[in-house]
Amino acid sequence: MTDQPALRTLKEGAAFNGFLLAQEAAFKTSAKGSEYLELKLADASGDLKAFLWDVRAIEGDLDKVQADAFLKVKGQAAAFNGRLQLRLDKVRFALDEEVGDLARFFATSGRPLADMTAELDAAVARTRDPWLRRLLELLLVEDAGLRAAFCRAPAAKSLHHAFLGGLLEHTLSVLGMAERACEHYPDLNRDLVAAGVLLHDLGKTAELTYQRSFAYSDEGNLIGHIAMEAEWISRAAARIPDFPENLRMQILHIVLSHHGRLEYGSPVLPKTPEALLVHYLDDLDGKLEAMFRSIREDAGEGAWTPFSRTMDRMVYKVRWPKA
């Protein structure tokens, strides 16, 4: 895929020949009864609508041409009603092996991964409490599979930080605010707060699938990330000899209560200052990211973004300039 052009750079009339991810795929019929294929095709740079007017031009198995599949397509960019689309001549299902690095098909965190992992490791190393540091090392450093997933997962299906690396980016952003808060409110236990932040969404690595599309896994739907990470933490603590029971309760409490309300899926309310703080800063970071993104991404005219069901409001796009 290395030499195929990024979708965002495509100009009207340009030919395209390469691999793309089908985010949507539907066989439709025209009023005259002829069948055509309508696709939404994506790489990491963006997505385009695409049409194949003659379905006989599909090579191989038609049933494999479906959402979340990689396709090899050939066609050209055409402007239609002011927007670019792809008019395809050929379409076929593509194997993962052909496609190469899957990350090229997904939006990815704007922060370099190396920076983020360095920041993560520094935060772990900065933890003075020996029990908590050991716990973090076991889960975030030494468990290579979990660490890899933690670096790659999105933070949510669509609410906020919905891109590869989003979970780590969100976690580090909350941590940054949390460490500032610990300076501001000196009665807070920084290490407990930091451990709570670093672990609060760890279960999302298994709650979400993010190979082709962002979706909930079976385990995500049946168990949920909060119960999953609570168990992982308990199990890790059990592997550390003499891990203090009170500390185990306090860190589990932060994680279990971080949604802040029972109706948001936390089985207990935050009952310690540290748990209260983690809840607020987690919620704030997600909502701010969603709001800034909706402002950035909305190309429409007017002072307002479209109504967001997630935020239950429109966002005012006019930014008062800094003096």
Question: Which of positions 39-78 make contact with its own copies (CB under 8 A)?
Answer: 51, 53, 63
| 113 lies in the site for its own copies, by CB under 8 A | no
What's the min distance (Å) between Cβ of 170 and its own copies?
Answer: 13
The one-letter amino acid code at 35 reads: E
| 239 lies in the site for its own copies, by CB under 8 A | no
Work out which of 11, 56, 309, 322 binds its own copies, going by CB under 8 A. 322
User: Which one of the spans 104-112, 139-147, 154-162, 173-181 is the region binding its own copies (CB under 8 A)?
Assistant: 173-181
Contact 181, 281 (CB under 8 A): yes
Work out which of 3, 61, 97, 183 binds its own copies, going by CB under 8 A. 183
| 319 lies in the site for its own copies, by CB under 8 A | yes
- Hey, what are 103's tokens? 């990350």
User: What whole-number distance in Å separates Cα of residue 229 and Cα of residue 144?
Assistant: 16
Contact 78, 86 (CB under 8 A): yes
Contact 282, 290 (CB under 8 A): no
User: What whole-number distance in Å separates Cα of residue 27 and Cα of residue 37?
Assistant: 5
The one-letter amino acid code at 174 reads: V
| 36 lies in the site for its own copies, by CB under 8 A | yes
Binding residues among 248-287 for its own copies as defined by CB under 8 A:
249-250, 252-253, 256, 262-269, 271-273, 276-277, 280-281, 283-284, 287
Strands 15-29, 58-59: pairing is unpaired
- Number of residues in contact with its own copies under rule CB under 8 A: 86
What's the min distance (Å) between Cβ of 267 and its own copies?
Answer: 5
Work out the angle at residue 243's Cα, subtended by the Cα atoms of residues 242 and 244, and round it to the nearest 5 degrees: 100
| 292 lies in the site for its own copies, by CB under 8 A | yes
Nearer to its own copies, 31 or 95 (CB): 31
| 243 lies in the site for its own copies, by CB under 8 A | no
What's the min distance (Å) between Cβ of 4 and its own copies?
Answer: 25
C-alpha torsion angle, residues 194, 195, 200, 202 (rounded to 10)? 120
Contact 48, 7 (CB under 8 A): yes
- Hey, what are 320's tokens? 């008062």
Binding residues among 129-168 for its own copies as defined by CB under 8 A:
129-130
